[in-house]
Structure 1
Amino acid sequence: MVGGGPGGRALALALTRLGCDVVLLEKRNPARGTGPAFRGESLSPDGVRLLAGLGVWERVREAAHRVDRLEIEDAGHRVLGVRFADFPYRYRHPVELAQPTLLAALAEPTGSQPGTCTVLEPATVVGLLVEGPAVTGVRASTPGGTVRISAALTVGADGRFSAVRRLSGLAERARQLPLERDVVWLKLPTPAGWDRRAYRVRIAGGSHGLFLPSTDGTVRVGLNIPKGGLRELRAGGLGLLHTRLAQLAPEAAESAREGVRNWSDTALLDIFTTEVPRWSAPGVVLLGDAAHTLSPVLGQGVNHALADAVELAPLVAEALSRDRRARNRALTTALQLFQRRREPDVRRSRALQLRQERMFTLTSPPATALRRTLYRALDASPALRRRVLAPAYFPGQSPSAPPEAAHSSPSEVTPA
């Protein structure tokens, strides 16, 4: 397993429970902290469902921050308000969960595990082991030198710039689509009077920002800028950044001045999507961002990585249980089935994200007027809201109860 993010950790946990032995390689050095401060914290209701199925949800539940609603404001007026309690699913609310907390829970074994998980960190993959057409393991650089690890299956869970994707040749026909913007991530003190149980999208002309509550009491902000526009923004100084934030959320102006006092308080995320035609080859498979990089809109990356892991684990375990002669064919069939099952959900999420990206970046008066009209139509129709948002937030769930009956569901997060 190459990569110790949510997808890699979830797959390692699921496989060891099914009796498989796993070696997990993580390139981050735990002695140097937990890494970037702006890694994904948002879990969709379906992400909560997946954690519950892995037996992890109860261990992180108290640390999670429930989100009750989504609101979009355009030109200072609210055009869409969504209450997640109105959806008729068992798991209805997204949550915010600090990624170190999630990773620690996924890494903690529960009970007697039939399989074992050996973790090497820091360890960086520098090559693949190959016999004939099949990948048979990896070469990795560690503080103690280069090691060779043989495996029946090598999993690339190593993110949007996946080394396994590149080294295996699966990147050769991959299609990377740059979007029209980049995102500057930062954290602000929560503005006075703000409901911390809301996702906020603020739009002004062709500019927009995402305002997401964080588990540490702050607000994570994703401010869109034109592709390659960081140099121009920085040339205007922090004052220009503060002004952009205040234009989108006037009530956050003071928080912006307080929370961003240096450019080191920000991080740039280059926005693109990657479509990989084949997620697997003999002896190797990709999951999560390595297989299907998505944009940060609606926070889908972590959720799809978890869904990949939960789908892949039983298929791999069953194939590896075959005798040696049948194993390779069974494994190839399992990996192809994995992609066929997961690709439709990924495709729907990508299409929804790209539609939202185009909506957010409209600038002409007729186009922005049309955008507001469309959001208001969505706001006025519960059926339309379910149709549009269900593929993003509830792809693995079927309606289970009317909303008023679902309020007491045991899946609820204890308010923090």
Structure 2
Amino acid sequence: MTETTQKRASADAAEPRGASGVTRTACAVVGGGPGGAVLALLLARKGVDVTLLEAHPDFDREFRGDTLHPSVMEIMDQLGLAGRLLERRHSKISTFTIQTDEGPFSPIDLSRLRTKFPYITVMPQTSFLEFIVGEAEKYPNFRLVMGARVRGLVEEDGGVRGVRYEGKDGPREVRAALVVGADGRGSRVRRLAGIEPIKTSPPMDVLWFKLPREPEDQEGIVGRFGRGHIAVMLDREDYWQAGYVIPKGTFPELRHEGIGELKRQFAGLIPEFADRLAHLTDWREVSLLSVESSRCPTWHKPGLLLIGDAAHVMSPVAGVGINYAIQDAVSAANVLDGPLTESQRRLVALDEKHLAAVQRRRELPTRVIQALQAQIQKNVLAPALGSSRPFSPPLLLKLLPRIPVLRDLPGRLVGFGLWRVRVKG
């Protein structure tokens, strides 16, 4: 633990411990994102008492990933939920096509994957989370607490034994055999535990803003590369979420030039949406997201486990973050449902060896995809952003789709990772 992390952890630990109410559960999951929600559902199905703590009052938040890859849809299918999930509004993407100065380029094709779901399902994350939590609420051993802002960890006998949080009715405390931090890239649980991530790829900045969506617009995702700029548009049903990738640290200069310069550059890449940019009038309508990937050297300590972005922040390259968080959740449930049931029955602490087993299952796939993302950022995105000349994809990426033995490899890695993750039982 670094000195800075020790100071932050000490400061957090010094917060008032008083709680007007204490509840008990076998597993307290902090963070109602895809990983946390799916883990809570899986444990509830196995009869484990589980409490899901979400800091926000609802699941409706902007600028979150909306892509469910084949791996997730297979998991939903194993749970008997895929059919009903797909009744919700969604679109499907089988190929990643990027418009460049040389024309369209499709480095990833999922259509040939051997699966019932050879595509990426694009669905608002809010809709997905409401569906998963709705399923979990069918089980009497599941409890959801919205608006629960975690303030500290309950630590006894060298291990984590619960969390203190600020709820709608004041300070509360939940005691648990296991606390799971699934609270995203800025994980408060990770910080409270004094676990420091290490960076795995260079950072870049993305500007996000909304543009109107017309009924006749195409569905899915639009991506463009060209002359030092990268733009993407994501279908959010009622509007487009527009993203504009810029080199790290250049936002102050762009802001100084004015909102008109951002609109001019964006329209240069996606001219068919130029008229929509009239709705963008102020920098307050633009959100800056600093993007960098990282990974924790250890995802656990006695009584505590990190999953998803709390354990490994993913780059947005290929949109795999949600899917790896859900695969973490499935692996955690597969390993921990038995030990948690026993811990719940005997009222004893969970052995840390089970938490280490979860990390062992998930660390290699995480390392591999992060290494690939770093190479794409270094060899594709960085050159594209750093040059005013027409963008040309690297030769290897151009040849890959033409080599039968290798052409499906990118699709398999994006669709499933190193291997499929299946629900046990």
Please classify the TM superposition score into its range, dividing by the shorter chain length: 0.7 to 0.9
Distance in 2, matches of 1:143 and 1:110, equals 22
Distance in 2, matches of 1:196 and 1:279, equals 38
Distance in 2, matches of 1:124 and 1:330, equals 25
2:181 counterpart of 1:181: no
Paired residue total: 389
Distance in 2, matches of 1:389 and 1:263, equals 37
Q: 1:249 to 1:380 in 2, by over 3 A?
A: farther
2:272 counterpart of 1:247: no
Distance in 1, matches of 2:204 and 2:138, equals 48
Alignment of 1:325-340 (within 5 A): 331-340=351-360
Q: 1:191 to 1:110 in 2, by over 3 A?
A: closer
Unmatched 5+ stretches in structure 1: 399-416
| TM value normalised by structure 2 | 0.83
Query: Are the aligned partners of 1:125 and 1:140 in contact in 2 as well (CA < 8 Å)?
Result: yes
Distance in 1, matches of 2:397 and 2:146, equals 46
1:45 maps to amino acid: P
SS at 2:32 equivalent? coil
Give the aligned partner of residue 262 of structure 1: 282
Unmatched 5+ stretches in structure 2: 1-28, 421-425
Deviations 1:189-220 (A, max 9, x none): 458986434x443212332122333333x433
1:9 maps to amino acid: A
Query: Are the aligned partners of 2:211 and 2:279 in contact in 1 as well (CA < 8 Å)?
Result: yes
The alpha-carbon deviation at position 109 of structure 1 amounts to 3.2
The alpha-carbon deviation at position 3 of structure 1 amounts to 0.8
Alignment of 1:1-400 (within 5 A): 1-30=29-58, 34-62=59-87, 63-80=89-106, 82-109=108-135, 113=139, 116-171=141-196, 174-177=197-200, 179-189=202-212, 195-197=218-220, 199-216=221-238, 218-255=239-276, 257-322=277-342, 331-358=351-378, 359-362=380-383, 371-395=393-417
Query: Are the aligned partners of 1:74 and 1:372 in contact in 2 as well (CA < 8 Å)?
Result: no
Distance in 2, matches of 1:266 and 1:224, equals 13
The alpha-carbon deviation at position 339 of structure 1 amounts to 0.8
Q: 1:223 to 1:112 in 2, by over 3 A?
A: closer
Distance in 2, matches of 1:186 and 1:382, equals 39
SS at 2:357 equivalent? helix
Q: 1:387 to 1:396 in 2, by over 3 A?
A: closer
SS at 2:151 equivalent? strand
Distance in 1, matches of 2:315 and 2:351, equals 30
Query: Are the aligned partners of 1:316 and 1:331 in contact in 2 as well (CA < 8 Å)?
Result: no
| Identical columns (%) | 32
Distance in 1, matches of 2:168 and 2:281, equals 37
Give the aligned partner of residue 408 of structure 1: none
Give the aligned partner of residue 405 of structure 1: none
Distance in 2, matches of 1:323 and 1:111, equals 23
Distance in 1, matches of 2:68 and 2:128, equals 10
| TM value normalised by structure 1 | 0.85
The alpha-carbon deviation at position 131 of structure 1 amounts to 1.2
The alpha-carbon deviation at position 98 of structure 1 amounts to 0.9
The alpha-carbon deviation at position 177 of structure 1 amounts to 4.9
The alpha-carbon deviation at position 325 of structure 1 amounts to 11
Query: Are the aligned partners of 1:18 and 1:314 in contact in 2 as well (CA < 8 Å)?
Result: no
Distance in 1, matches of 2:224 and 2:327, equals 29
SS at 2:64 equivalent? coil
1:23 maps to amino acid: T
Q: 1:141 to 1:193 in 2, by over 3 A?
A: closer
Alpha-carbon RMSD: 2.8
Q: 1:378 to 1:192 in 2, by over 3 A?
A: farther
1:24 maps to amino acid: L
2:127 maps to amino acid: T
SS at 1:72 equivalent? strand
